[in-house]
Amino acid sequence: MKICLFLLMLTVIGFQMVFSQADSSIVVDQVDNSALVYLENAANIAISSEGKTVVAWQTAADVSQIAVSLYDSEFGEWGAPQEISTAVFQAMNPALAADQSGNIYALWQQQDDTSTYKERDALFFSKFNGTSWSAPVDVTGYDFDNGEASINVASDGTVFIVWNTDGDDSLEAVFTKNSADGGDTWSDAVQLSAGHAELRDQSDAGRAVLAAGSDGKMVAVWANKPNTAYAKMETFCNIYNGSSWSEPALVSDSSRVINDRFPSVVVDSQDSIHILIQDYESNANRFLKMHTKAWDDAEWPAAADTIVNRGFQTSYPFMVIDANDNIHVTFRRKAQDALTVSWENAYTMSSDGGKTWTEQNRISRYAHDAAYASIAVASDHVAAVWRETDSVATTSGPYSIPYIQLAAVTALHDGNGNSPAIFDLQQNFPNPFNPSTHITFSVSKTDDYTLSVYNLLGQKIKTLMIGTLQAGKYSANWNGKNDLGRTVSSGIYFYKLSNGTEQLIKKMTFIR
């Protein structure tokens, strides 16, 4: 039986995918707490169809701008920051998205009148064509206070933006525009929150997020606290069928006296819509729940399909989906170690539409306060960035922006669906190899395992897998790069499978 394996995003055919925590690199340090989109409705990282990775943030200068950095995969380093905005007063809340033609798009909120602080912001747009960024373009004007924006690209290449805006009556509304020519021209604004009460003027209303489906479809999800005293937060969804937007539909259960916050959304290959929401039962119990609906279903189910996690404080979920319908989620949670009071970022994924989830692993550094993570998916990997304190055991700055790639293994079965009950590590194939090689192994019992690569000095250079595995046969792929994404030199390397009490080691040769 022939099985095709890929490094980080693997076709799931009735088996398990386990992601590892690799060492992170720092995109930029000495940034403000608000350098990334703390609203958690927009991505600060995007990967083009040509494999170029860009991260965007808000600078800490008196006149803040939007800066970007491009990852150099050859040398495993981040390029010097480049400012792409030209704000007179301040630019903030950057959002990124990539299309299938090698372009990356940036959207941000900008204020140019210093006499009207926190009033009359416009949204600006720029395009990276793989070589350079275009001059910023105002896409909304300053008639209202426009902010909390997000951007995404439909399957037909149409660029969509969504945001909420404050009117003169201090009530907010959700709007959208689109561009069919890569941002050169834009449609008129469409109000998505029409037909329902305007959004209540408070910090966590609105925060709309977009997800693309097939055939030019798009979904917008946003939070709404009706403009009544002591009202609870609810989640609404609009769908775009390729030509027009629907009326908003209520997603969360409005019968419960509770707040549903920070929605995130993805659309799978069958155009089923998956919405992840933070359910706020109490300050000590904020958990994530998944709502799922087929595209043509008239209404959302009355209750959530899946509880992703509960029992501890969780917030700020961010969700993406890859080409194989694996759903990837990062979120912020109270640190699980009683020795520290910091918050940490964790990661989990589902390969069955959100019905079950992998073990939730911390991706931020131990004891460093972390928040505001976002993820991007490429053809061969998943990557995340977030805001983190430079020092341990503190929630105060300065802060840095780490970057991480996540690795995977695939669980294999024989023709009868049986799994071998042995602890075994096979010789990699091909060997010698360039550019990649397959490593097959089996474990005899459910336990915590690691699969790592070492150089001749005994230094660990790559973590291929770390996590809980059930008894069975697995396979991983190594592309000759270390945990920082840099291609290693030619030579002999060792790979080790271990569960803490027993280990197996094999030798392999990499040729550049």
Distance CA 147, CA 51 (A): 29
Entry pTM: 0.79
Alpha helices, DSSP H, located in 302-428: none
Grade residue 258 by pLDDT with cuts at 50, 70 and 90: low
Question: What fold is seen in the domain 418-510?
Answer: Immunoglobulin-like (2.60.40)
Grade residue 254 by pLDDT with cuts at 50, 70 and 90: low
Distance CA 329, CA 318 (A): 6
Domain boundaries, the chain: 17-406, 418-510
The pLDDT assigned to 12 comes to 29
User: Other C-beta atoms within 10 Å of 504: how many?
Assistant: 15
The pLDDT assigned to 1 comes to 26
Distances (CA, A) of 464 to 98, 205, 371, 432, 498: 27, 40, 25, 18, 12
Beta-bridge partner residues of 223: 206, 235
Contact 512, 487 (CB under 8 A): yes
The pLDDT assigned to 232 comes to 74
The pLDDT assigned to 149 comes to 94
The alpha carbon of residue 369 and the mean position of all alpha carbons in its chain are separated, in whole angstroms, by: 18
Comparing 81-95, 105-119, 139-153, 382-396, which segment has the lowest mean pLDDT?
105-119
User: Side by side, which strands form the sheet with 437-443?
Assistant: 17-19, 408-412, 472-478, 437-443, 424-425
Cis bond leading into 81, ω under 30°?
A: no
Q: What would you measure as the largest C-alpha separation in the chain, in angstroms?
A: 73
Comparing 210-224, 267-281, 312-326, 411-425, which segment has the lowest mean pLDDT?
411-425
E strand map for 52-132: 53-58, 66-72, 77-78, 82-83, 90-98, 104-111, 122-128
With CA atoms as reference, report the closest residue to 266 among 448, 43, 33, 32.
43
User: For the segment 455-507, what is each residue's pLDDT rounded down to a tens digit?
Assistant: 999 999 988 887 778 788 888 889 898 877 788 999 999 999 999 889 999 99
The pLDDT assigned to 494 comes to 97
User: For 157-169, what is the mean pLDDT?
Assistant: 83
Amino acid of residue 342: S
Grade residue 446 by pLDDT with cuts at 50, 70 and 90: confident
Distance CA 162, CA 488 (A): 42
Grade residue 210 by pLDDT with cuts at 50, 70 and 90: very high
User: Other C-beta atoms within 10 Å of 230: how many?
Assistant: 6
User: What residue has token string 């390397």?
Assistant: 493
Is domain 17-406 given the CATH code 3.40.50.1000 in the classification? no
The reply to whether 17-406 and 418-510 are identical in fold is: no
Grade residue 287 by pLDDT with cuts at 50, 70 and 90: confident
